[in-house]
A = this chain, B = another copy of it.
Amino acid sequence: MLIVQKYGGTSVANAERIKAVAERVSRTAKHDNKVVVVVSAMAGETDKLIGAAHQVAANPSEREMDLLLSSGERVTSALTAMAIEDLGHKAMALTGRQMGIVTDAVHTKAKIEKITAEKANKALNEGYVIVVAGFQGITESEDVTTLGRGGSDLSAVAIAYALNADLCEIYTDVDGVYTADPRIVPEAKKLDKISYEEMLELASLGSKVLQTRSVEFAMKYNVPVVVRSSFNENPGTLVTKEDEEMEKVVVSGIAHDVNQAKVTVMGVPDKPGIAAKLFKGIAGANIVVDMIVQNISGDGRATDISFTVPKTDGKKTLKLTEDIAKELEAKGVDLREDIAKISVVGVGMRTHSGVAAHMFETLAKHGINILAISTSEIKVSCLIDAKYAELAVRVLHDAFELAKAA
């Protein structure tokens, strides 16, 4: 088997942890497997580098920021390869460039365009364990790029696809995917299996187990992913194609996200093309918009448009939206950062009715006001006051009887 194993920041936080990772890689390699390891920067390292950048410059350039941040994963890849070699294997560290990870030129949030993997394929055939620096790639013009927060997950899944790996294991500091955050709901259950679609909703809804884009990629190319802990031998959660068994479960999990901010444009003239203008402007600044809610206006002439963006982009979005709002002759723009998004997710919703109603009832019963609603085929999301976030997760986990899940 060809197995890709990705180890996150806490799994390679220090020399002891790196040696433990090397032991695990060694055990996998000894079972006649080819192994490609993808590593993150040591926990805290990326934040330290970002801090250093802000110490020397008010507005560090994004191109240089990528060069700076990419060094964290390079360090871990070199150290991890050394540790694996120390256990008697042939090991080779590869940077994003050496792995042939070519991206677009959107610095700090680059998208992978292709992975050539020439050097890796040659080395795998020669019996090397490959250790790739995650989170990074290179543009056609040879500038270093990074893939955004959690980008090492995407590196791992994309490499698994490029090498036609049998399995992509994502090692982290939790045992797998739970029905809710176990820190909030102690009786939350670990799921043995979850569909790509559900994982995607959970990932994008703030469950930090897997980066959203990595799940999208895995789903698109059908890469089997296992999320498991590097601190024990528990089997983890398999993220895979939907099957019949999964459809029987109406709700798989409750997700919450407190890292979004809500922007509302008030009194927008109700004319065609307005929304397009607004969101084109925001997309142009590479800000990812999540929920979009537009209500029909009372008098038929003006309407309110609300949307959510990552909290870190909140102020930037506010400024941008204010400029666009003037152009659109809207009445004003409002930013709210103290919100939470709570979602129930499950592929079973497609064939079962009443999930949304049950959710709204449960929230109402506990005095939690709903600020906005958004639904998809397999999820229902509500924006609420941030202070009710944990309460909402607990009462919904209870209402959908998730503690009884298999």
Contacts and interface: CB of A to CB of B under 8 A. Distances in A.
A61 B82 contact: yes
Contacts of A78: 53, 64-65, 67-68, 71
Given A52-B15, A56-B19, A86-B58, A74 B79 contact: no
Interface string A188-212: 0000000000000000000000000
Given A93-B64, A95-B144, A59 B86 contact: yes
A107 to B, nearest CB: 12
Contacts of A77: 67
A155 B100 CA distance: 26
A68 to B, nearest CB: 4
Contacts of A95: 67, 144
B60 A82 contact: yes
> Copy number of this protein in the oligomer?
2
A155 to B, nearest CB: 17
A353 interface: no
A52 B67 CA distance: 22
Interface size class, chain A = 35 or more
Contact of A61 (B61, B81, B119): B81
A169 to B, nearest CB: 21
Contacts of A68: 74-75, 78-79, 82
Most chain B beta-carbon neighbours within 10 Å: one of A52, A58, A65, A83:
A52
Contacts of A86: 56-60
A71 B75 contact: yes
Given A63-B92, A63-B93, A64-B85, 20 more contacts: A15-B55, A19-B56, A22-B56, A49-B75, A52-B79, A53-B78, A53-B82, A56-B80, A56-B83, A56-B86, A57-B82, A57-B85, A58-B86, A64-B79, A64-B92, A65-B82, A68-B75, A68-B78, A71-B78, A97-B142
A156 interface: no
A98 interface: yes
Contacts of A93: 63-64, 67
Contacts of A79: 52-53, 56, 64, 68
17 contacts: A15-B55, A18-B56, A49-B75, A52-B75, A53-B78, A56-B82, A59-B86, A61-B82, A63-B93, A64-B85, A65-B82, A67-B77, A67-B93, A67-B95, A68-B78, A71-B75, A119-B142
B71 A142 contact: no
